[in-house]
Chains A and B, each alone.
Chain A
Amino acid sequence: MAYSFDIYLIQALHGIVYGMLLFLVAAGLTLVFGMMGVLNFAHAGFYMLGAYFGYSVVAWSGNFWLSLIVAPIGVGICGGFVERFLLRKVHTFGHAYELLLTFGVFLATGEIVKWFWGNAPLSVQIPPSLSGSLSILGATYPYYRLFILACGVAVLILLALFILKTRIGITVRAAVSDAGMVGALGTNVPVVFLGVYAVGSALAALGGVIAGPFLSTYPGMGLDILTDVFVVIVVGGFGSVFGAVVASLMIGVLQSYGILLLPKFALVFEYVLMAIILIVRPNGLFGEKE
């Protein structure tokens, strides 16, 4: 394994880039999970839907930047509808039924996508302003990956400011820790749920749009990222956004080094990490609730 030091650094950067993508998808999921206790399978569907919306917007307008705005908004509205008209109705039956409902939504989304866009993978053109590459450490590094990194960091900062500094953010945090009590104190909790669900879906869609040119857009993409994201949530701790950041980066870097050093076992590493974390801290790195 005689790789030069540069390769390790580049590989770390690859890992961080993928980790940031994971974070975009995991952030919404972990918030919804913390608040509603719902393991939201539909989230992966929204991620995929975002990628396809993005593809269509680019194909229609030729403008990648427009798709970054339009697709998340469109998917956010879809998410809002799902929460309001489907999920809320089965809330009283318990978590298991909510989970199954979102799974039905996920399945239906996958087929809708195939229906409208076909089975073949689609490739989204990287806009000219992002298609070059930068030379660092004697190697060239594509701008687009750096753009993913920048997007991830921007979302992270905005989300952190929103959750830590605004009044709505405080309400959301309170609802994650005890939704019933927040409701008793006079907050309209269902509206908070709706908002978080919609914003979470929009974030997943943003992840999808960004992932489109990077990982290509295909009908199985939702399921493919879902397992990584689930591991992120388990490792980071249920409902913790900060945990999601740390775990995303850990999983990203671990996978990237796994592929470099032991390609055959790369898929298994993250589960080993998950098992270790679960033994040491059953609620994840930053999880507080049971």
Chain B
Amino acid sequence: MKPLLTKGAVALVLLALIALAPRCVPVTHVNMLSEIAFFSLFALSFNMLFGYCGLLSFGHSAYFGIGAYTLVLILKHFTGMPLLLALFVGGIAGGLGGLLVGFFCVRLKGGYFALLTMAFNQFFFAIALKWRSLTGGDDGMSLSRPDLHLPGLGVFSMGRPANVYYLIVAIVLLCVFLQWRLIKTPYGNAVRAVKENDERAGFVGYNVYLTRLSLYAFSAFFAGIAGSLFALFEGFIATSVIDAQMSMQVTFMAFIGGVNSFFGPILGAGVYLYFTDWVSRVTDRWEFVLGVLFILLVMYAHTGLIGFVSLDKIKYFLRIKAGIKGTDK
């Protein structure tokens, strides 16, 4: 019972910190925390595929972008639509996009899969760039944030950063919880079986194709939600939400944090955003720094940062310090 209690306590403290953050830190940091929140969700959605099913989706900004564009278009053309529903529809649109692309892609794996997802990413990018009358092309579109109506709780203005922050964090936490539950189900086990050995999983009786396809759609759904949160937060979107650079960013985040752990990408998103913010203030060559750092990361620390800070390692270290012999493996 004890570890459960500890975990509960840790979770409570974290929740309290998240809730109190807007009161304790300046506005710029509140905005940074909001960004970390939806990019965490994006990175987690990426890692659902790579970490749990071994599928490297190198075009994941497609769904992020679809979510973002969907939200902006809905709020623009259907003005009465409640904000929460619009965000959800953004996710659904991302998921449908994932279903469409997945139909072509999930039969392949490894580098082939990555290549195809990237090509489809470029396809959606081309649409966003060329269909000017719908998407505004590279001029982008701005969005006026509607107020959030919560029945019984009142109206919250989305003009206040703290309110935006709470909305984003609440939705992200809900989605993270859903993802966490999803991988703990028998379906999650099937996903991992497919990762370990897809042929064997097929012979055991799992439908490899459907498992991958549905996972891809789920992942795209969460990426879509992250994208629509991004659009809500920024109040403006352009083709940069759906380009190769965005796909690269999410890959960075997931790998910096660590792809072999559920919470790694969250750590990665935080570190990446703070780090790029800092580096871009110090030098103009931040992409170079990032590229070199990435090479070093892949070569020398491919378990990601969470590999350094995992609880087991800390416990092990403390044990050695305390002189306790043996492990409870």
Contacts and interface: CB of A to CB of B under 8 A. Distances in A.
Interface of A: 33, 37-39, 86, 89-90, 93, 95-97, 99-101, 103-112, 115, 223, 227, 230-231, 233-234, 238, 264-265, 267-268, 271, 274-275, 278-279, 282, 290
A107 B112 CA distance: 21
Contacts of A234: 115-116, 119
Contact of B126 (A33, A89, A105, A267): A267
Contact of B295 (A108, A268, A278): A108
Contact of B108 (A230, A274, A290): A290
Question: Chain A: interface secondary structure?
Answer: helix
A278 B119 CA distance: 12
B302 interface: yes
B119 A115 contact: no
B291 interface: yes
B119 A230 contact: yes
A29 to B, nearest CB: 10
Most buried by B among A108, A115, A267, A271: A108
A90 B115 contact: no
A97 B291 contact: no
B112 A238 contact: yes
A100 B126 contact: no
B115 A104 contact: no
27 contacts: A37-B111, A39-B111, A90-B299, A90-B302, A93-B302, A95-B56, A96-B50, A96-B54, A99-B56, A99-B111, A100-B251, A104-B298, A111-B285, A112-B288, A227-B119, A230-B118, A231-B119, A267-B126, A267-B130, A268-B123, A268-B126, A268-B130, A271-B119, A271-B120, A271-B123, A278-B104, A278-B116
A39 B110 CA distance: 9
Contacts of A233: 115
A44 to B, nearest CB: 11
A231 B54 CA distance: 23
A20 to B, nearest CB: 21
Question: Chain B: interface secondary structure?
Answer: helix
B58 A89 contact: no
A107 B294 contact: yes
A271 B127 CA distance: 11
A266 B115 CA distance: 21
B111 A100 contact: no
B130 A265 contact: yes
A168 to B, nearest CB: 24
A108 to B, nearest CB: 3
A108 B50 contact: no
B12 interface: no
B48 interface: no
A107 B108 CA distance: 26
Nearest to B50: A96
A111 B280 CA distance: 14
A103 B54 CA distance: 18
Nearest to A107: B291
A248 B40 CA distance: 39
Contacts of B295: 86, 101, 104-105, 108
B244 interface: yes
Interface string B97-109: 0000000100110
Given A93-B302, A111-B291, A103 B248 contact: yes
